[in-house]
Structure formats: structure tokens, C-alpha cells
Chains A and B, each alone.
Chain A
Amino acid sequence: MIWESDEVRETLRMIEAEHLDIRAVTMGISLRDCAGPDLDGTCGRIFDKILTLAQKLVPTVEAVQADFAVPITNKRISVTPIAMVAEASHARSFVPVAQTLDRAARELGIDYIGGFSALVEKGITPGDDTLIRSIPEALASTERVCSSVNVATTRAGINMDAIVRMGRVIKELAEGTADRGGIGCAKLVTFANIPDDNPFVAGALHGLSEGECIVNIGVSGPGVVLSAIRRLRRSGTPCDLGTIAETVKRMSFKVTRAGELIGREVARRLGAPARFGIVDLSLAPTPAIGDSVAEILEAVGLERTGAPGTTAALALITDAVKKGGVMASSYVGGLSGAFIPVSEDRGMVEAVRAGALSLEKLEAMTAVCSVGLDMVAVPGWVPAETLSALIADEIAIGVVNNKTTAVRIIPVPGKDVGETVELGGLLGTAPVMPISRFSSAEFVRLGGRIPAPIISLRN
């Protein structure tokens, strides 16, 4: 046989039973040439450019999916941070730009478009200021637009003034979408060390150093990793943590190779100016049964995610994913780690409900995996200052450890601890988590910048 029947069967099992999929094919589009002195003109150019470049994205991805039989779950677009594209217009609000992006995404059949963003780690320009002010209305009045604000980098330090504003923006956005459980907040991420080539929403943007049109791939595969670990443990072969790391590494290699293959093929079929960018090696869970990072941790021997040992187990898994993936792809980028979004991961939701997983434990976990406090619901009464302080904590972990961290938190209007909010689709169900009642207001109000940590001085 040209192919061993074991190999064929394994491929089938991975695709059909273990949810192996390409989570996102994201086309990054530079909008730098769309800037101009009047906002209407800018919007027109943005719309035309996105439609021209991404016109073939959905049909091409569908054709590749048909040929290779590997499901490609999402087709997405990321654009140059809008604060920079729209700044020259001196407009008082950038909401029309968000609506233009929304219209373009709808026209193209794209579920999310990322890049309603500003990079303010060191300072806020008038354009950044307008963008941040526009976020609540922009996200409440659109369906598919995602926004991100980078408030810190290891090199620049932490912009507390920006974090203070983000706390208020999140509150306002939750109120503005109160009728839908504050869903607007699910489309807004506050970042430290934001990557330029992240294919995953809501944090996707097309970085300033990127080319004209790039195809980035987000692979997935918690289900595949979970089954591999379960099989290993069931098989009765003597296994220690080293064996588990090895198993995860092998699976990660395979999953990433599939991502690389598909990314290159999509870019090739799209033709110039589209080029293949990177593969993001993240374990991205979905609400589907068995497609959960929490269940992986539990398969490693923890009674519940959040039990002591969780951080260590997550560190092991994340590292093994990177080691396996890095050899499988020639260009690795994006967030590359493991995502632990609470509402999108059935196992996480159950751990919260069982009282095993707290906000504080989640914060500790984010020190060893990618992203951060992701898709976390907290009571609606939480003051903006507390949200800002929580963001500052999470951002500090990223800045000091020279990694990306982020916060996507939903203060659910009118709900309290013990209740849940239904966000629908891939966003899942979020249990409202307890949060400290002690005030951080005085600390937050001091504002200013937290200087860059000593590890930033590497020259």
C-alpha cells in the first residue's frame, strides 16, 4: 500500500472523530493607502480595497476544504489598526469606519473582521483617542467588527492612562449591549505585547510591519490532543509526564502540518498579492464536547481544572504544543500557545460551576499559556476601576514575562455570581465569576505609565 492503512485510519479518526480542523484562515489586509483627509473618502477606499482583495477568499477556502477534506471553520479578515488609517481625517468619531468594515464583512460572508484597534502602549494620539472613544458605539452598532487595544509592551512599559480608559469603555460597552448579555465585550480585547499576525479574533489585526496581503492560519486541535492522551493512558503503557509531553508534541506536529499545507495552498490559489504568512500554533477550544483544553488538563490527572497542579500541567501542555508545532511549520507566529477562554470551553465552564476554578487561578494559568483572562463574565456591578486594575494585573504578567497577555472580560449587566449568560455559537455560555470586592480605585487613579521592566534593556 502506498499509504499504510494505519495512517489512513488515523487521519480519518482525527478529522471525523476528534475535531481536527483549521480554526481560522485569516486574510490580513493593509489599509495604509486608504488614509485621507475626509472620513467618507477613507471609508469608500477601505470598502473597495477589502472587497477587491478578499473577494475570492471564501470560495477559495471552500474549494481547498473540499479537496483536502480538512474542515476550515472560519474565514476572517484583519486590517491595519483603524486608529492609524482614520487619524488623518480628524473626524470626531470613527464609528462610520466600523460600519464600513461590518458591511464589507457581510458582503463577503466573513463572520468576524478584526482591526478596529489602536496601539497606545506608550502614548495616545488624537486618532487613538477618537478610536477608543468610538469603541462602545462601534461594537454595539455592528455585528462582525472586533476591536483590540494594545496598552503595554515589554519595551514601552504599561500605559495606565489607557488602562483606566479601557475599564470605562468595557463598562459602557456592556451597558450598550445589555439586552444581549453585554455581548459587545466579547469583541473587545485589551492587550500587552499584541502580535502583528494573530489570525484569531477578537484580537486579530494586520500589523504595521506586515505586507500588503497575508494569509495567516490558526490551527486547532484540543480534541486530537485529548484523545491521544486518553489513548495513551488507556493503553496501559507505563507513562510519566515526559511520555505525555512527547505524545502532545507528536499530535501538535501533525495538526500544524495540516495547517501549513492548507495555508500555503490557500495563498497559492489566491495568487498575488496574497502571500502565506504564519501558522499560529494555538490549542483553541470550542464549546463542542471533547474539544476542550480543560479536559486535557483533567486527562493528565487533575480532578478538576483549577486544582493545585493546573498551572504546571498547562505549562507542560503549552510547551509541548510549541515544540511539536515549531518543527512542522516554517513560519510560526500569532499567539501560539493554549487558549483558556472560559465560556468557549465546556470543561472550563464546568470547573467554574464546581467551584474549582477562580479568577485568581485563571490569572496564574495565563502566566504559562497564551492570551489571558479570556471570555470571563463578572457581575455587572463591578466598578470600572476594578476592571482596570484587573487588566493591569494581567498586563503586568505579560510585560514582565515578555509574552502576550490580554483581557476579554464581560461585566454582565444585571447579573451576579452564580448566574450564567448565554452568548451563543462559538462564544458559548459564561458563568458569572466572583471578583474581589476590595477597591483598587486609588491605585488606578494615579494613572501615568509604569516604566518598562529591567528585562526590556537587552541592547
Chain B
Amino acid sequence: MANDELLRRVIAQVLTEVEASGADAKETVTTPRGAVLPVLPAGTEPPIDYCALCLEQEQKRKRQRAVLTTTGRNRKGIVAKMTHVIAEAGGDILDISQTLVSDYFTMIIVVDVASLSTTFEEFKQRVTEVSSSLDVHTMMMHEDVMAALHRV
């Protein structure tokens, strides 16, 4: 299948890039999108089940992301305080965008919640507390909702 061939080439490319970036090539490597894979001997082409493993891991990992949206009147320190809560809870910010429309603040953060040191509920609770202390509103949802609504 053309897809298998394509997958093999993509993975080979990813592995090359990981190696070129000077990452430690011990037993496993972590791909830029978060899959942890056993290292292949140099010059080997990854077999199909290896590709499947990579995909499976990325899928698993993808399920561990949350989307936070903060809106409200602009004031100093919103980004600082919100990102602080995330860091404190052990979340990893994968993507962040922030804009102002006149005086209205909007921020979207995609957080990796796989490595949270607290439960998702506690994290959510903390985020809500900090938001209300800043007089802004934060909605936090599991990424799967976005995927269900917008991706076929």
C-alpha cells in the first residue's frame, strides 16, 4: 500500500531528525510529536509494525491534551498567572496564542496533561480559582471534544 510506504518514509525522516538534533540515542527515542520508540540500527528502514507502534503511541498521547480558553477584560499578569498554575500542576504547554480585541482578552492554551502531578479535576479546580481571582473566565476541555466536533 502506498500509505505504508509513505509512513515508512515519514518515520525514517523523523528518526533522522531526532538523531541530527543531538538527542541521546540510547534504547529509545522520543519523536517530536511525543511517541517513544525503540531505536533502530543505523540505516535500517522501519518496518510496518514499527510505524504502527509510532502511530498508536501518538494517538495515545494525543488523548492527553486539554484546551484552555481564557476570556475576559484585559489586565496585567493574566498570562503569567495562568501559565504559572499550569507549570505548578506539572502540565506542559504545547501551544499558546493570545490576542486582544479592543480591551477584551482571549487566550487559547493547549496543555499536555499526561504528566500532571495532580488529578485532572484538581487541575481544573485550580485553573478555575485562579481565573476567578483574575476576573476572567476559563473553560477547559479535553481535546477529544474538539477532535469530535471539527475533524472527520
- Which A residues are within 8 Å of any B CB, using their own CB? 1-3, 5, 7-12, 14-16, 63, 66-70, 254, 257-258, 260-261, 265
B40 within 8 A of A: no
Measured CB to CB, the nearest residue on chain A to B141 is A69
Measured CB to CB, the nearest residue on chain B to A261 is B148
Selected from B95, B106, B124, B150, the residue in CB contact (under 8 A) with A7 is B150
B99 to chain A, nearest CB (A): 8
Find out whether the CB atom of B121 lies under 8 angstroms from the CB atom of A257. Answer: no
Find out whether the CB atom of A8 lies under 8 angstroms from the CB atom of B67. Answer: yes
Selected from A2, A5, A16, A68, the residue in CB contact (under 8 A) with B145 is A68
A1-B95, A1-B97, A7-B150 are contacts. A258–B108 as well, Cβ < 8 Å? no
CB-CB nearest 9 A-B residue pairs = A69-B141, A257-B148, A261-B148, A7-B150, A254-B149, A67-B142, A68-B145, A2-B95, A2-B110
B64 to chain A, nearest CB (A): 11
- Which B residues are within 8 Å of any A CB, using their own CB? 65, 67, 69, 94-95, 97, 99, 106, 108, 110, 120-121, 124, 139-146, 148-150
A225 to chain B, nearest CB (A): 14
Selected from B69, B120, B150, the residue in CB contact (under 8 A) with A12 is B69
Which B residues are in CB contact (< 8 Å) with A8? 67, 69, 108, 146
Measured CB to CB, the nearest residue on chain A to B99 is A5
CA distance A257 to B106 in the complex (A): 26
A11-B141, A12-B139, A254-B149 are contacts. A5–B108 as well, Cβ < 8 Å? yes
Find out whether the CB atom of A67 lies under 8 angstroms from the CB atom of B120. Answer: yes
> A-B contact count, CB below 8 Å?
71
Secondary structure dominating the interface of B: strand
Find out whether the CB atom of B69 lies under 8 angstroms from the CB atom of A258. Answer: no
Find out whether the CB atom of A257 lies under 8 angstroms from the CB atom of B142. Answer: no
Secondary structure dominating the interface of A: helix
Find out whether the CB atom of A69 lies under 8 angstroms from the CB atom of B144. Answer: no
Measured CB to CB, the nearest residue on chain B to A3 is B146
Find out whether the CB atom of B97 lies under 8 angstroms from the CB atom of A11. Answer: no
CA distance A298 to B141 in the complex (A): 33
Find out whether the CB atom of A66 lies under 8 angstroms from the CB atom of B124. Answer: yes
Apart from A2-B94, A10-B149, list 14 A-B contacts with CB within 8 A.
A1-B108, A3-B110, A5-B99, A7-B146, A7-B149, A8-B146, A9-B69, A10-B150, A63-B121, A67-B120, A67-B142, A69-B141, A69-B142, A258-B145
CA distance A11 to B139 in the complex (A): 11
Find out whether the CB atom of B148 lies under 8 angstroms from the CB atom of A260. Answer: yes
